[in-house]
Amino acid sequence: MTRHATQPIDGQKPGTSGLRKKTRMFMQPGYLENFVQSIFDGIGGAAGKTFVVGGDGRYFNAEAIQTILKMAAANGAARVIVGQDGLLSTPAASHLIRLNKTDGGIILSASHNPGGPDEDFGVKFNTPNGGPAPEGVTNAIFARTKEIDAYHKLDVADVDLGTLGETSVGDMAVTVVDPVADYEALMASIFDFGAIRAMIAGGFTISFDAMHAVTGPYATKIIEGTLGAPAGSVVNGTPSPDFGGGHPDPNPVWAKTLMDRMMGPNAPDFGAASDGDGDRNMIVGRGCYVSPSDSLAVLAANATHIPAYAKGLAGVARSMPTSAAADRVAEKLGIGIYETPTGWKFFGNLLDAGKVTICGEESAGTGSDHVREKDGLWAVLFWLNLLAARKASVAEVMQDHWATYGRNYYTRLDYEAVPTEAASALMDGVRDRLGALPGQSFAGLTVEKADEFSYHDPVDGSESHGQGLRIWYEGGARAVLRTSGTGTEGATIRCYLEAFDGEVLDDPTKLDAVRAATMELAGFQSHIGRTEPDVTT
Ligand code: VG1
Ligand code: CO
């Protein structure tokens, strides 16, 4: 029997990037099955279709993939392409969806969230363009979770995902592919591997921290293999189900070992890290951390050094909370700049329509039209290619960039596991006063304007409201407040701060005033009992 009666389960609403919950919740009988069946139902059925399936290797990845394969087969899918051992980085999955012209894919990951039985798990559907499902599709999936009464699953033995090649589940074909091969070929078609190889052969040193996550095999094969970096250039390169007990989030806090090394006396020339599912990146030169917002601007400004972008960019897009550093580059280049809500799904239409070539977010995500996800290793290879082409260090590139465009000082403060009511009270308190704020002063800064960000998609005309509270202060500083859509415990408040300076390019106090003003304006102390964040990036 393949039909299993079930009942709707509350709370299966996809967030910024798919459905993310505690792993144990996903392991409850029917939880994963309900959501996967709702995906198939929400896209008009799976019969005769082809999908890509893979995940970041975290705890429950292997079991979840077996369930999805048996469900796809019972729903009549024709074929599933799956990464060997169930592994696929998010950008590699996006590429396989596009390369094989499939009907979409299911990616298993909670990205930068820790993994393990007591940590996080996630499931995301990507559409045939390779990108995360847009809100129209996720709304249809969510609607289905509220009325589902049955799911379909074959009662057969697990399929062997360790052996490359063709196999099957019931009548459905299963193709087990090398997770790295097609992705590497794509990277080789974008970048000047010869120039990077020559730079490395000339003594340029790299430390890539894969954080025990999915980019390990990719970075080892490409950086140590093809590009010839010595063994040991990739550290923490073997994926583990709990990411070595760590937090696979590539930022100065969670990648502290790498940061300390890069700021120390024997630092390599270049450091980088990636997250759980391989779509984020951190770039750090010897003694020089590159903020993700700046990285986006630098990639845009230097794109013509890269073979695939030698003819220039169609345009650049950034998420709203990302700094305006990229805007300055786009303005100088005379190309379009687009501001979207947080989450990669909003870039898809702009990329598909050819309006933009490069996109980025302040949360360490950058990517281009080569896939429809952000891509950590792509960003690393981009930096390596541009350093090879310019024969410059990371610090020299940054100094030159700020001297040309000025500097958008930037920081993000995260307040995690805040009781939901307290977080709502803080946000509502600001939202209710948006109209009254202009002209008022907080800690010595006067508000110039304030609003709540709504997005009008210029390609399909869809509207997305409630995408973050924005406050601009006199003098050009900006604060943004929003709550996270990827957390699994209470609420996470994100406070994004930015201030521009065209003259002084090294002022560590630049953001102090906007920070103090925003703490006071929003009442962090009175609502959540603290002004100190859990994580500062
Ligand atoms: C966060 C980031 C956002 C990113 C999203 C998914 O979302 O802020 O920029 O697109 O994670 O990234 P939120 O709603 O928690 O702020 V990943 O690497 O977790 O797929
Ligand atoms: Co990620």
CATH of the domain at 17: 3.40.120.10
Q: Could you tell me if the CB of 346 is within 6 A of ligand 1?
A: no
Question: Do residues 51 and 148 share a domain?
Answer: yes
Instruction: Determine if ligand 1 sits within 6 Å of the CB of residue 484.
Output: yes
Separation between Cα atoms, residue 123 and residue 138, nearest integer Å = 12
Residue 271's CB is within 10 A of a number of other CB atoms, namely 27
* Structure token pair of residue 488: 């699994």
Q: Is residue 444 exposed (0-12), middle (13-18) or buried (19+ Cβ within 10 Å)?
A: exposed
Q: Which DSSP state fits 329? A: H
What is the atom index within ligand 1 of the atom nearest the CA of 485?
Answer: 14
* 344 Cα nearest atom in ligand 1: 10
Q: Which of 38, 94, 109, 111 is catalytic?
A: 111
**336 & 428 share domain:** no
Which residue, judged by its Cα, is nearest atom 5 of ligand 1?
A: 343
Residues 457 and 327 in one domain: no
Are 274 and 378 in a shared domain? yes
Contact 25, 128 (CB under 8 A): no
**275 alpha carbon – ligand 2 mean position (Å):** 6
Work out which ligand 1 atom sits closest to the CA atom of 277. Answer: 18
Q: Are residues 194 and 255 in the same domain?
A: yes
Does residue 321 sit in the same domain as residue 279?
Answer: yes
Residues with CB under 5 A from ligand 2 (ion): 111, 275, 277, 279-280
Residues 240 and 98 in one domain: no
Give the end-to-end CA distance of the chain in Å, rounded to a whole number.
51
Task: Point out the domain boundary residue: 178, 202, 234.
Answer: 178
Q: How far apart are CA 259 and CA 246, in angstroms?
A: 15
* Predicted-complex ipTM score: 0.98
Cβ 306 vs Cβ 190: under 8 Å: yes
In a mutational test of the pocket of ligand 1, which residue from 94, 320, 346, 363 has the highest number of ligand atoms less than 8 Å from its CB?
363
CA distance 91 to 379: 11
Element (H, E) at 33: helix 31-42
Ligand 1, atom 1: closest residue by C-alpha: 486
CB of 411 closer than 6 angstroms to any ligand 1 atom: no
Identify whether residues 232 and 367 lie together within a single domain: yes
Q: Closest by alpha carbon to 37, among 81, 80, 3, 10?
A: 3
Q: Which residues, at least 6 apart from 377, have a Cβ–Cβ distance to it below 8 Å? A: 89, 91, 183, 187, 215, 218, 219, 222, 274, 278, 281
C-alpha 150 to ligand 2 mean position (Å): 31
Residues 6+ apart with CB under 8 A from 94: 105, 126, 130, 131, 371, 372, 373
56 Cα: distance to centroid of ligand 2 (angstroms)? 9
Same domain? For 205 and 131 the reply is no
pLDDT, position 64: 98
Which CATH number covers residue 424?
3.30.310.50
Under 8 Å between Cβ of 501 and 407: yes
CB-ligand 1 contact for 280 (6 Å cutoff): yes
State how far the Cα of 209 lies from the Cα of 429, in Å rounded to an integer: 41
343 CB under 6 A from ligand 1?
A: yes
Count Cβ atoms below 10 Å from residue 153 Cβ, excluding itself.
21
pTM greater than the 0.90 cutoff: yes
Boundary (domain end) residue, out of 372, 405, 438: 405
Of 178, 195, 228, the residue at which a domain comes to its end is 178
Secondary structure, 3-state, 49-93? CEEEEEECCCCCHHHHHHHHHHHHHHCCCCEEEEEEEEECCHHHH
537 residues of the chain, pLDDT tens digit each: 699 999 999 999 998 889 999 999 999 999 999 999 999 999 999 999 999 999 999 999 999 999 999 999 999 999 999 999 999 999 999 999 999 999 999 999 999 999 999 999 999 999 999 999 998 999 999 999 999 999 999 999 999 999 999 999 999 999 999 999 999 999 999 999 999 999 999 999 999 999 999 999 999 999 999 999 999 999 999 999 999 999 999 999 899 999 999 999 999 999 999 999 999 999 999 999 999 999 999 999 999 999 999 999 999 999 999 999 999 999 999 999 999 999 999 999 999 999 999 999 999 999 999 999 999 999 999 999 999 999 999 999 999 999 999 999 999 999 999 999 999 999 999 999 999 999 999 999 999 999 999 999 999 999 999 999 999 999 989 999 999 988 788 899 999 999 999 888 888 999 999 999 999 999 999 999 999 999 999
Contact 343, 336 (CB under 8 A): no
CB 232 within 8 A of CB 263: no
Is 189 one of the catalytic residues?
no
Domain enclosing residue 99, as ranges: 3-178
The DSSP letter of residue 162 is: S
- Residue 456's Cα: distance from chain center in Å? 22
Which of 88, 211, 295, 486 has most ligand 1 atoms within 8 Å of its beta carbon, as the pocket-test mutant? Answer: 486
Is residue 200 domain-shared with residue 302, that is, in the same domain?
yes
* 322 within ligand 1 shell (Cβ under 6 A): no
* Number of compact structural domains in the chain: 3
State the Cα–Cα distance between residues 485 and 124, nearest whole angstrom.
Answer: 13
Give CA–CA dist 190/378, Å, rounded: 9
Q: 245: burial class by Cβ within 10 Å (0-12, 13-18, 19+)?
A: exposed
353 & 439 share domain:
no
Instruction: Give nearest CA residue, ligand 1 atom 4.
Output: 343
249 lines ligand 1 (CB under 6 A): no
Written as six digits, the tokens of 180 are 């790295």
Does 481 share its domain with 386?
A: no
- Residue with CA closest to ligand 1 atom 19: 111
